[in-house]
Structure formats: C-alpha cells, structure tokens
Structure 1
Amino acid sequence: MPYPYFNYGPSNCNARCNSGTGRGQPTRIRILFPDSQNTNVRVTTRNNGCKCTGPKKINVVVCLNNQNNGNDGGNDGDNNDGDNNNGDNNVGDNNNGDNNVGDNNNGDNNVGDNNNGDNNVGDNNEGDNNEGDNNEGDNNEGDNNEGDNNEGDNNEGDNNEGDNNEGDNNEGDNNEGDNNEGDNNEGDNNEGDNNEGDNNEGDNNEGDNNEGDNNEGDDNEGDNNEGDNNEGDNNEGDNNEGDNNEGDDNEGDNNEGDDNEGDNNEGDNNEGDNNEGDNNEGDNNEGDNNEGDNNEGDNNEGDDNEGDNNEGDDNEGDNNEGDNNEGDNNEGDNNEGDNNEGDNNEGDNNEGDDNEGDNNEGDNNEGDNNEGDNNEGDNNEGDNNEGDNNEGDNNEGDNNEGDNNEGDNNEGDNN
C-alpha cells in the first residue's frame, strides 16, 4: 500500500513544548508500511523546529488501513503450481529426462512419471527414484537421474543399484511405472539393480538361467542364436506385442526368467536372470542380444513396443551403456549374471534391449539407455549376481507382469 503521510493539526496532533515559551511547528509523521499486513511499522518524525526549550511531546492518532490483499496470499502461491512441480516432474525429473520421451515415457516422466506427476514430489520422489527412479536414481541420481538411467534406467542403474530394483523391477521396469514405484523405485534401483543385488542371488539366478534361460542354453549359442535374435528374439518380434513376446520372456528370457513373473522374476532374478544363466554366454548371446534380444528387436518395435518402450524402456536403451552400467553391472547387477556374458548381452543391451527398442527413445533416456541394459552389461559379471536375483530384480518384478511380458518371454527367447 502507499506510504501515508500524516500532518497533524490542531488539538491532539501539535508538537508542543513542555516548557519554555512559544509553540513549535507541526510535526510531520511518516509511517512506512513494509507489507500489506501492517507489520513492523516504522515511524519517523521530523520536527520543523520547535522554538521552545525542553523535551517535546507528540500525540499521534493513527488509523491503519490494513489492506492485506486478500489472500495472504495464496499464495497463488506457496502452492505453488507448484511444489508439484509441474514439477519435480518436471518435464522434468523427466528429464527430457528420466522422461525421456522417455522411460518417461512421455514418459517415466511422464508429463510425467511425474506425472503431474510420478513427480510428484517428485519423479523422484524421493524420487521417481525415489532413492529414486533409481534413485540412486530412476536412477535418479536422477529421474535418472544421472538419467532414467541414469547412469541409468540403470541407474547406477536401470540397475540401479539396480535394474533390480527392487528394482527396474520395479514393481518394476515394470513399471507400474518405468518403475515406478519408481523407475525404481525404491528405486529404479533400488539398492538396487544390484542389489545385493539386482544381483541377488541373483538376477542370476541360477536362474533366469535357468539352467536355463540359459541354457547353455538360453544361450544357446544359443538363445542367441544369431539367434535368440533372431531377427529374431525380436521378432517383430521379441516384441512382440511383446518384448514379451510370450516372448523374450520366454517363460523364458526369464525364465521363470528374465521376466518373468518378471524381468524379475522370481525373476529377472530368477534364480535368475542370472543364471549362470540368463547369463549364459548366454541369455547374452551374441545373444539375448541379439542383434538381438534387441532385436530390432527385444525391442521390438518391440520390447519397445511402442511399447515397454516405449520410446522407451529403450532407451537408447534399457540398453544403456547401460542398464549397464558399469553398471547394472554392478560388480554387479553383475552378476556372473544377468550378465551374462549375458543378459548383457553384448547384450540385453542390445544394441539391444535397446531396441530401437526396449529403447525406446526411451526408458532410454539417453538414458535407461544406456549403452546400455547392454551393459557390457546388464551383464555384468553379472546381473547375475548370485544374482540380479534378488529375490530380487525379482521383483514381482521388472517382472512386471511385466517387462515380462508374458513377455520378454517369449515362448520365445526362451527358448
């Protein structure tokens, strides 16, 4: 409100001299209102010269015009539109994002895994992570963050610690979201696509092997084969409508598998998406890749599809260098493991579980990318672990029913 000036006139507002002779000049009072609530009022006085001697007495009558302006207000406000945020979303913790056009997907964001939001506080929240969309991210070290990966949908990883997560599980890379509870979340990790392990004894497990979604294998050279490809474990695909398909699952690239009931599954576990195992040299194979468990791909357009993508659990790529990460590894979402030289593959990568792809542009994100669920590798020595188990990257699971799908099955990349 404006600063009012009060010039006090006769009766109660004149400056008077308590002693001496004569009257002083009227005193001008300036009252400064710093805000609309009339708080912390500062009063300054100026006496234009009292010709008297002795102390002066000033009687002041003030009527405060308390405006507020209504609200306090809103605030429109501490809302905010808001701490949403549209948002920690954001488009986003997304991020263009864990989003990305995204594991978003439009996104793990999306607007958002947010979404207005898986945001929500936030796409984290403690993330789309939360400890993240890993988080150590959806990641997030991100919604990823360091990406949806971020490192990755990894994040460390779609891992994150792990692609687990309890996991890229999530209930799962699932997700019910790309997690999410998050693209983790607790995290797209969460402790993790390790964890001990998106390990777990293991996303192994002995395993999404099983001996195997191996077997030697869901290898075989293999569950390849060039492949469990094949163009492929695609096929259009290891999609198929699904990366399923009843699919790169298979019951499967699980099996009870690289999902299955999940990418877990008891799981991408399974005892495990290990396996020594969904390893195999292996659920790799050059591989559960294949160009690949990709395929264009475990995509397919795909485990995409536009899909588990969708533009996508891609990511360039659920890949990621990687759901990797060094990784969805970890030593490891290692595991000697859902590695495998393996669910690596050069890999569940693939260029890859990418796919153009389970990419998708993508749980990508540049990304859950990562070059990628690759990893060399979701490998890792290995998504094993004993194993990416966990019970596990189980989870009921990156399952989900799932990145399963009946699933990344397929009856299928079973083989």
Structure 2
Amino acid sequence: MRVVLGVSGGIAAYKAALLLRLFVEAGHEVSVIPTAAALRFVGEPTWAALSGRPVASDVWTSVHEVPHVRLGQEADLLVVAPATADLLARAAHGQADDLLTNTLLTARCPVLMAPAMHTEMWQHPATVANVALLRERGVEVMDPAAGRLTGADTGPGRLPEPDEIFAAALELCSRTPLTETATTAPTAGALAGCHVVVSAGGTREPLDPVRFLGNRSSGKQGFALAQVAASRGARVTLVAANAELPVPDGVDVVPVETALELQEAVRTATADADVVVMAAAVADFRPREYQDAKIKKTHAPGQEDSAPTIELVRNPDILAGLVADRGQGRSPVIVGFAAETGDASGDVLSLARAKLVRKRCDLLVANQVGRDLTFGKDDSLVHLLRPESEEVRTVGPASKTVVAEAVWDEVGELLATGGPVGPGQ
C-alpha cells in the first residue's frame, strides 16, 4: 500500500517517526511530507533513513514530477500525525500554501488526521468547527488522548500513541476500497467475510479458592491479532483467558479461565470457522484435585516447614485436537504458537521446528519467552514457519500489531492458495 505520512510542526513530531516505522515494517511504501515547522523538530535525514525513500518537503523540488499533484493522486492512504491546530485550519479551508496542504487537496484516498495541541487550542470554537467541517467532508479525525502535554500542562490534546494511529489507519482502509492505482499485496482482502477464531491470554488452573497455577501471558498478542483481523473484514471470535485488555471494536469475546474451558469454547466457535489462531498460553498441567477450602500451612510440632504435595495431570493438547478434527470434516487453517525459552536440547528455532512436526498445523509462530521477554511487553520478535518450507520469516523486534499483520499476511497466502496444508485435506 502507498502511504503518505504528513507531519506538521508540533513537539509530538518525534512520535511520527515511530508511526513511520510501523508502516514500513508492515511492508508499506511510505512517502513522508514534513512541513517546514516539522523539520525544526525532526530533521529530513531521520525521515529518509526510516522510510528508505527521498523526503518531499516543498513544491519546488523535482518540479518536473509535479509532486504537489502526484503524491496525492498515487496515495492509497494519507495520514497526518501530528495534525496541529494550524494544519487542521488550513486543511478545513482548502489552503494550499505548502506541499502537504497541496497533497491533501489532490488526494482521493482515505485521509486520517491525528491531532496534537494544547487543551485550550483543541477546545477552542475555531478548532471545534474546523474538525467538524473536515469530518463532514469524510476526513477521519481522531480524538486526541488526554495526558501530559508540553511543559506542566495536562489534559486532552496529546497525540494518540503510534500503535493506536496505525490501527486506526488500517481500520479506515478496511472500510474504504483502494484506489485503482493501488499496489497491494496478493493477500489483501483475503480475510473479508471469513470467520476467524483467536485464543488469547493465559489459562489459570485453580488449586483452591485462593491459589492457581498460571503463566505470565497478558493476551496482548492475541488481542492484536483479533483487532487486525477485524480491520481486514473478518468476523472475529476472541476466546480470552484472564486478559484484562480493552475489547477491539467489532470482536465477539468469550471469556474463559481454565484450559478445559478454553478447549470447549474454541471447539464450539470453530464449528464454522475458516481460520483458528491458538495464541493463548495454555497450561500443560492442572491439579488432579481441587481443594474446596484454602490449603493451610501446618503448625503441628515438627512439621512447621512441611509443604503439601500437589499431584498434577496433563491438560488436553488443544492445538493437536483441532488438527485431528480436520479429519472429521472440518478444515480451517490452523495457526499454532510456540512460546519457547530454549534449553539443553536446542534453541528456540530448533524446538519450534520439532513442535511444528508434532502439531501438524499450517503455520507456527515461534517466539522466545521468559522474564522480561515477550509476555506483557508491547514488542516481540517471532519466527514464522510452515511445514512445506524450510524458509523462516522473522519479524521484529516490532510491535505486536506489526507481528499480527505479518501473521495474517501468511494466513492470507494460505487461503489464496487453497487453504490448509495439514492432514484431513
């Protein structure tokens, strides 16, 4: 997708560099148009290095290419972040006194603006009227976040986080057909109309009314997968195990706690699913017996240091069960996750390859986990493996939204080439 990233002159311009990286890492072609004021905050070499493309900043450079018309005409998406009060005013009233406002006038693609300014400026009647006018004309204007602003000020006016802007841009594109000049990946739109089931979070196996066996998974990756799938037009069922995260728009959530509950919810949702992504961290074991009352420490003489013995039993292998079910008439594309730490028997990648052979899923997403690695973090590094190929696609370190984009790109290729490659076909 051809993206034009406009950057106007606010202190939040530095965050636009992070947004640029998200678009580039997701495989999009990005042209940056900073205003003269924006270049006083972040210099042209930064934009060129991060985008890998020349930076267009005025109407007089490369005049023979007519940049003030060409950039807008060829774009599939135009994002302005930050959009200052001045930029919003000029755009609302059709001014064309620099390259960015010229491009806004020539663009016929979706336009997203992410405002950033002091609270008084955002709430001023002039800005309120300008935003209303832009929205009436079809421009998507995000509401700014509330928080710490320049200096000691706090309030609404803070630029939304790059991940939020990126997700809003993808969602906007999913609602608007690309232009005829668009250059899109062969998998674009592959999820439209599909039913997708995603599991997320970490299961908990109760020992007694107070304690449980669990893991460090936050559910962030699974929620990102659900959000991106919904933005690509899929009907999404998210089976969420103990995840305290905002529910993505347009996603149906089924809350669960234990591995057995997750298994049942996934099997039910999968009855008519086209794709199943098992991103949840499922406990391998559970206590054989649940204690109805809290397990007490003993105070008997000579037994003060004793501890109870807890017998564990193995939980069902949900991923393997889904693959086995395909031999009984159901044939969704199945994606597994391998959270590995590496050990004496092999590194993360070799352990993941062995798991792919055992599980026989269509795509395996492998990542290294541990304390301060992956679980609960906003970034991740993953390896994408397919059973029919020796090639490994590595993504990251990158945001979990970017990882989700890469996973769905791979799934899109599988759907476009006939679906599952595992057993039962």
**Normalization by structure 1: what TM-score?**
0.24
Max Rg structure: 1
Q: Which has the higher contact order (CA 8 A, sep 6+)?
A: 1
Structure 2-normalised TM-score? 0.23
Q: Which has the higher strand share?
A: 2
